[in-house]
Amino acid sequence: MELDYNSDAIVQLLETPPKDRSLSWLKSALQQAIMLELATLPPYLCGWWSLDDDSETGKAADRAIREIIFDEMSHLGHVCNLLTTIGGSPRIADPAVLAPYPCPLPGGVRPKIHPDLEVYLSGLTQDSVEMFSQIEAPERPLAQFAEETFASIGAFYTAILEAFTQHGSEIKGTRQVIENMAGHGGGNSLFAIRTLADAEKAIEIIKEQGEGTDQTPENTFPGYMGELSHYYVFREIFRGRKLKKIQETPPRWDFQGDAIPMPHARPMGRVPKGGWAADPDTRPTPTVQAELDKVNQTFSDMLRSLEKAWQQDTPEEAGRHLGAAIGKMFALGEPAIKLMGMKLPNDSTLHYGPEFRYSPPQA
């Protein structure tokens, strides 16, 4: 299947009858899952970097979003291990797999409650938090939208797991990246996928950290006490109230807890289609462009290091490239925050921010 972020590949994959989901189907589905995981990272990073609030509320939001970002990085790693263990090779450093923000989710994913969901880059606002929660929305949320039905990312991972049960004999344990990241949560460490049980565990982690379960909104692989799954973290910030259990049987939660003021954030505007330079009203000065280029280049170098990690035959060599990628991710923060202090020429109340556009390797 030709890779194209704007295609409806996931819809097509899910329309394939389960009995016809071949090994090739499974490899294609996992590559699409890589695109899904990659699409969420830049918006969440922009929201996190924009936080500028030393209050207890601000610190709590900073910790919660930071842990979600580490979860998403781990999810990407788990999916790559799932792909290489069946003989696939992840494509990560490729413009065809990267989100051309603003844009829908990849592969034709359309949540039923928000079929026109647009994923974009901006600072943390009421609107962006709503967008984050719709990305993570489960099929049957335990609070607020219990009567609604969603076409969720979790449902796609369920289909992937079902295909693994059909092709368990194809699991070879090849080119696995192993990394201890338990400090960020029980499901964050990357482990080798050598059995069907390993594949089941990896997919369980991805689904439950994002959506919770049908019994609890809590992250069952937490990095800190009481950590909620991603969807409910974002809904708390959006609703401005802590989630509270209001009924035991059947379990029911609602946003009736303590008030949560919206944390103060740097006023990063929304990146226009094609980047800031594509819009005459937001065309950057050379100084701003230099910072944009720095983020784009570092981001692209990070993707190349990640891709190389899953091309190695030894865990030691894979770990070296993974370490380089993690270092580059941390290096993104300084120029990104610097951009968020630079005012837009057409609206002094809003500032620039990173674009996350692909840059080829420097000569």
Residue 75 above 80 pLDDT?
Answer: yes
Give me the mean pLDDT over the 169-190 stretch.
89
pLDDT at position 114: 66
List the single range of 45-59, 240-254, 282-296, 314-328 with lowest mean pLDDT.
Answer: 240-254
User: Which domains are assigned to the chain?
Assistant: 9-271 (1.20.1260.10)
pLDDT at position 142: 45
Rg of the chain (C-alpha set)? 20
Residue 198 above 70 pLDDT?
Answer: yes
Other C-beta atoms within 10 Å of 287: how many? 8
pLDDT band with cut points at 50, 70 and 90 for residue 195: very high
Q: What percent of the chain has pLDDT over 90?
A: 73
Q: What percent of the chain has pLDDT over 70?
A: 92
Q: Tell me the pLDDT tens digit for each residue of 350-360.
A: 999 999 999 99
pLDDT at position 110: 66
- Nearest CA among 265, 348, 320, 300 for reference residue 42: 300
Residues 6+ apart with CB under 8 A from 305: 321, 322, 324, 325, 328
Other C-beta atoms within 10 Å of 127: how many? 12
- DSSP E strands, the chain: 244-247, 252-254, 343-344, 347-351
Give me the mean pLDDT over the 57-69 stretch.
93
Q: Tell me the pLDDT tens digit for each residue of 200-232.
A: 999 999 888 866 555 678 888 888 888 888 888
Q: Tell me the pLDDT tens digit for each residue of 3-26.
A: 899 998 998 998 899 999 999 999
Token pair of 291 as six digits: 């910072």
Report the chain's terminal Cα–Cα distance, integer Å.
Answer: 31
* Contact present, 149 and 193 (Cβ < 8 Å): no
Q: Is the dihedral of CA 187, 193, 198, 203 positive or negative?
A: positive
pLDDT at position 146: 40
pLDDT at position 139: 57
Residue 148 above 60 pLDDT?
Answer: no
Give me the mean pLDDT over the 327-345 stretch.
97
DSSP class of residue 6?
T
C-alpha to C-alpha distances, 239 to 53, 126, 233, nearest whole angstrom: 18, 9, 10
In whole angstroms, what separates CA 188 from the centre of its chain? 14
Between 146 and 76, the higher pLDDT residue: 76
C-alpha to C-alpha distances, 279 to 158, 271, 283, nearest whole angstrom: 40, 9, 6
pLDDT at position 35: 95
Residue 120 above 50 pLDDT?
Answer: yes
Residue 1 above 80 pLDDT?
Answer: no
Q: Tell me the pLDDT tens digit for each residue of 45-54.
A: 999 999 999 9
Q: Tell me the pLDDT tens digit for each residue of 255-264.
A: 999 999 999 9
* Contact present, 171 and 195 (Cβ < 8 Å): yes
Evaluate the omega torsion of the peptide bond into residue 102 and state whether it is cis, within 30 degrees of 0: yes
Between 70 and 217, the higher pLDDT residue: 70
If you average pLDDT over every residue of the chain, what do you get? 90
Within 13 Å of residue 14, how many CA atoms lie on the same side as its CB?
A: 19
Q: Which amino acid is at 354?
A: P
pLDDT at position 113: 58
Token pair of 261 as six digits: 């003021």
pLDDT at position 211: 60
What's the rounded Cα separation, in Å, for the pair 16 and 188?
Answer: 31
Give me the mean pLDDT over the 284-309 stretch.
98
pLDDT at position 188: 85
- Nearest CA among 140, 298, 146 for reference residue 214: 140
What's the rounded Cα separation, in Å, for the pair 133 and 146?
Answer: 15
The whole-model pTM stands at 0.92
